[in-house]
């Protein structure tokens, strides 16, 4: 029997009961699972003075409820987050006001540069920063020698790998659903997947399992070897992938589909993003270059290029997986529990500097066992 309990984050709540008091400032998806996570933090006596909602994964009703709980929610675009001093100013302000050790939770590497700047200015620093994503993991890996607080990343843990399975499957299901809304089936089409990392390989697996021909491109030749071993066709160049695909789903964390790439695509190609930052596709370039546009549905826009070729873009190039719920709340329970275990270690001040620390395997085993027991 499936249990529809109000509280999905049971293992998270268990981890909280064992955590020292802390003050948390975070950049998070403002979705229902985050709402429950923050509620548990407050109920256990921790401080969460402010969070920054990720621009393309937030719900107004969730934000309203979070703010009613006493947490300030900043809703800023990426240009402001990355191009102004708002994050460093927030860190400095909260360090003055915090009742407990300050820990940062990051979903994309946005605190990396502010931490570098604060260190250069010899300003007070938080207890540490925890990164959740592979994209952010890579940013901290590049900046670690300049950051003077412990960095802990959960991006490469087996627990995050479980989350990726759901994200990849959601991206594929949403893509298929959007096409069905305009009377088209993905079945029998050739789907190109750009990027064969943690998310991309799950998108490819879900697409293949649903009867489509998959074609994978990655700049990393070892990833292409892996894709081939998983029985996907591979493209050795981006133009090759674009020319041979009916649908292209990008999951790289960077801008992978440029305006020039679109010129190699067949008429009527469909482009979708499985990256949370909405930067996978050069949508600004496509809009500027297009002669006209036509909204085929609320989730699909057709752009007519100067050549007469049509390019169809899903969800204004925002991540399709958030359309249907990227990952179930009960699965996010695992991820939030690991975040808390990481924060606990940052507060205990037992981690090394200038490396990307991880939650010990024994702790991940405990989280997994507790979750499986509840299930």
Rounded to two decimals, what is the model's pTM? 0.89
Q: Is the pLDDT of residue 53 over 80?
A: yes
**Integer Rg of the chain from CA:** 21
Task: Specify whether the CB–CB gap between 25 and 51 falls below 8 A.
Answer: yes
What is the distance between the alpha carbons of residues 260 and 72, in angstroms, rounded to a whole number? Answer: 42
Give the pLDDT confidence score for residue 13 in this predicted structure. 84
Q: Is the pLDDT of residue 173 over 50?
A: yes
What mean pLDDT do residues 90-98 have? 97
pLDDT digits (tens, 9 = 90+) for 65-80: 999 999 999 999 999 9
Q: Given pLDDT bands bounded at 50, 70 and 90, which one contains residue 6?
A: low
- Of 300, 298, 229, nearest to 271 by C-alpha is 300
More confident residue, 15 or 35: 35
Q: Which 3 state secondary structure label does DSSP give 82? A: helix
In percent, how much of the chain has pLDDT > 70?
Answer: 97
More confident residue, 3 or 273: 273
Crossing angle of helices 158-180 and 200-209, rounded to 10°: 50
Phi (first) and psi of residue 34, to 5 degrees:
-65, -40
Give the pLDDT confidence score for residue 5 in this predicted structure. 47
Task: Specify whether the CB–CB gap between 136 and 108 falls below 8 A.
Answer: yes
Task: Specify whether the CB–CB gap between 157 and 213 falls below 8 A.
Answer: no
**164-323 matches 10-160+328-374 in CATH topology:** yes
More confident residue, 255 or 35: 35
Assigned superfamily of 164-323: NAD(P)-binding Rossmann-like Domain (3.40.50.720)
What mean pLDDT do residues 175-199 have? 94
Give the pLDDT confidence score for residue 3 in this predicted structure. 43
Give the pLDDT confidence score for residue 278 in this predicted structure. 66
Enumerate the domain spans of the chain: 10-160+328-374, 164-323
Which residues are CB-neighbours of 172 under 8 A, at least 6 positions away?
203, 206, 207, 210, 249
Name the architecture of domain 10-160+328-374. 3-Layer(aba) Sandwich (3.40)
Q: Which 3 state secondary structure label does DSSP give 114? A: helix
pLDDT digits (tens, 9 = 90+) for 292-325: 999 999 999 999 999 999 999 999 999 999 888 7
């Amino acid at each position: 029997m499936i249990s529809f309990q109000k509280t999905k984050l049971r293992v998270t709540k268990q981890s909280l009961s064992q955590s020292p008091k802390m003050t948390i400032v975070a950049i998070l998806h403002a979705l229902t699972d985050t709402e429950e996570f923050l509620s548990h933090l407050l109920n256990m006596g921790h401080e969460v003075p402010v969070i920054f909602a990720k621009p393309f994964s937030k719900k107004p009703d969730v934000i309203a409820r979070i703010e009613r709980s006493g947490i300030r929610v900043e809703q800023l675009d990426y240009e402001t987050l990355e191009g102004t001093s708002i994050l460093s100013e927030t860190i400095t302000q909260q360090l003055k006001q915090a009742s407990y050790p300050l820990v940062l939770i990051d979903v994309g590497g946005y605190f990396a540069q502010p931490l570098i700047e604060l260190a250069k200015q010899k300003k007070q620093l938080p207890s540490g920063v925890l990164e959740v994503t592979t994209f952010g993991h890579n940013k901290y890996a590049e900046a670690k020698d300049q950051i003077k607080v412990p960095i802990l990343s959960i991006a490469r843990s087996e627990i995050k790998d479980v989350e990726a399975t759901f994200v990849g499957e959601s991206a594929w299901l949403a893509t298929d659903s959007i096409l069905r809304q305009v009377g088209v089936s993905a079945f029998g089409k050739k789907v190109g997947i750009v990027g064969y990392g943690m998310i991309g390989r799950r998108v490819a697996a879900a697409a293949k399992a649903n009867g489509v021909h998959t074609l994978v491109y990655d700049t990393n030749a070892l990833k292409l070897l892996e894709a081939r071993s998983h029985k996907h066709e591979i493209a050795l160049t981006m133009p090759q992938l674009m020319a041979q695909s009916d649908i292209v789903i990008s999951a790289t964390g960077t801008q992978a589909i440029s305006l020039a790439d679109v010129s190699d695509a067949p008429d009527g190609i469909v482009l979708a993003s499985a990256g949370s930052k909405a930067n996978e596709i050069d949508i600004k370039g496509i809009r500027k270059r297009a002669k006209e546009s036509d909204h085929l549905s609320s989730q699909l826009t057709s752009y007519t290029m100067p050549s007469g070729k049509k390019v169809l873009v899903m969800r204004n190039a925002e991540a399709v997986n958030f359309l249907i719920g990227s990952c179930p709340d009960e699965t996010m329970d695992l991820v939030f529990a690991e975040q808390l275990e990481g924060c606990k270690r940052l507060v205990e001040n037992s981690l090394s500097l200038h490396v990307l620390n991880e939650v010990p395997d024994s702790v991940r085993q405990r989280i997994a066992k507790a979750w499986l027991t509840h299930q």
